[in-house]
A and B are shown apart, each in its own frame.
Chain A
Amino acid sequence: MVDAPSDAENNTAEAFLQGGSLKHAPGPYFGTYGGRWMPESLIAALDELEDTFEKAKADPDFVAQIADLNRNYSGRPSLLTEAKRFAEHAGGVRVFLKREDLNHTGSHKINNVIGQALLAKRMGKTRIIAETGAGQHGVASATAAALMGMECVVYMGAEDCRRQALNVARMELLGATVIPVTSGSQTLKDAINEALRDWVANVGNTHYLLGTAAGAHPFPAMVRYFHEVIGEEARAQILEQTGSLPDAVCACIGGGSNAIGIFHGFLDDPSVKIYGFEAGGDGVDTGRHAATITLGKPGVLHGARSYLMQDDDGQTIESHSISAGLDYPGVGPEHAYLADIGRVSYEPITDAEAMEAFRILCRTEGIIPAIESAHALAGAMKVGQRLAAEAGDASEKIIIVNLSGRGDKDVAQAAEWFDLLDKDSPEAEIGKEGEQL
Chain B
Amino acid sequence: MSTAQTASKSAAAIDKARAEGRAALIGYLPAGYPDVEQTIAAGIALAENGADLIEIGIPYSDPVMDGQVIQAATTEALAKGFHVRQVFDVVAGITSKTDAAVLVMTYWNPVVRMGVDEFSRRLAEAGGAGLITPDLIPDEASEWFEASDKYGLDRVFLVAPSSTPERMKRTVEASRGFVYAVSIMGVTGARTSVSSAAKDVVAAAHHAGAERVCVGLGVSTAAQVREIGAYAEGVIVGTALVAAIRDGGVQAVADLTRELSTGLVREEA
Contact = CB atoms under 8 A, between A and B. Distances in A.
Label chain B's interface by main secondary structure: loop
A300 B185 contact: no
Interface stretch (B89-97, B130-138, B257-265): B130-138
B164 to A, nearest CB: 6
A313 B59 CA distance: 10
B109 A301 contact: yes
A202 B187 CA distance: 11
A298 B84 CA distance: 18
Contacts of A61: none
B142 interface: yes
> Which of B64, B110, B137 has its CB near the most chain A CB atoms (within 10 A)?
B64
Nearest to B65: A39
A299 B157 contact: no
A270 interface: no
A40 B157 contact: yes
A203 B185 contact: yes
B237 interface: no
B62 A193 contact: yes
B242 interface: no
A289 interface: no
A2 B186 CA distance: 27
Contacts of A79: none
A44 B109 contact: no
A39 B171 CA distance: 12
Nearest to B158: A40
A315 interface: yes
Interface stretch (B6-14, B15-23, B111-119, B206-214): B111-119
B137 A314 contact: no
A308 B162 contact: no
B249 interface: no
Nearest to A44: B162
B78 interface: yes
A313 B115 CA distance: 11
B167 A40 contact: yes
Interface string A271-313: 0000000000000000000000000011111100000101011
Contacts of B267: none
B268 interface: no
A71 B254 CA distance: 66
B75 interface: yes
B137 A43 contact: yes
B139 interface: yes
Contacts of B78: 315
Contacts of B111: 314
A4 B71 CA distance: 32
B109 to A, nearest CB: 4
B122 to A, nearest CB: 13
Given A200-B187, A299-B109, A314 B84 contact: yes
Q: On chain A, which size bracket covers the interface?
A: 35 or more
A184 B182 contact: no
B235 to A, nearest CB: 19
Nearest to B64: A196
Interface string B45-77: 000000000000000111111011001000100
A417 interface: no
A246 interface: no
Contacts of A43: 137, 162-163, 167
> Which of B62, B134, B187 has its CB near the most chain A CB atoms (within 10 A)?
B62
A202 B163 CA distance: 15
A8 interface: no
Given A184-B75, A193-B62, A201 B187 contact: yes
A39 B61 contact: no
B137 A300 contact: no
Given A200-B65, A201-B185, A300-B108, A36 B139 contact: yes
A35 B140 CA distance: 7
B83 interface: yes
A200 B186 contact: yes
A310 B108 CA distance: 13
A41 interface: yes
A314 B110 contact: yes
B187 A38 contact: no
Interface in A33-87: 35-45, 47
Interface string A180-204: 0001100001100100110011111
Contacts of A204: 185
A189 B61 CA distance: 10
Contact of B112 (A3, A39, A196, A314): A314
Interface string B175-186: 000000010011
B159 A40 contact: yes
A126 interface: no
Contacts of A299: 109, 112-113
B160 interface: yes
Contacts of B163: 40, 43-44
A197 B112 contact: no
A37 B108 contact: yes
A345 interface: no
Given A44-B162, A201-B185, A313 B84 contact: yes
A136 to B, nearest CB: 22
7 contacts: A41-B158, A41-B162, A193-B63, A301-B62, A313-B84, A314-B109, A315-B60
Given A41-B160, A44-B167, 12 more contacts: A37-B140, A39-B160, A40-B159, A40-B163, A40-B171, A41-B185, A183-B71, A183-B75, A184-B71, A316-B61, A316-B62, A316-B109
Interface of B: 60-65, 67-68, 71, 75, 78, 83-85, 108-114, 134-137, 139-140, 142, 157-164, 167, 171, 182, 185-187
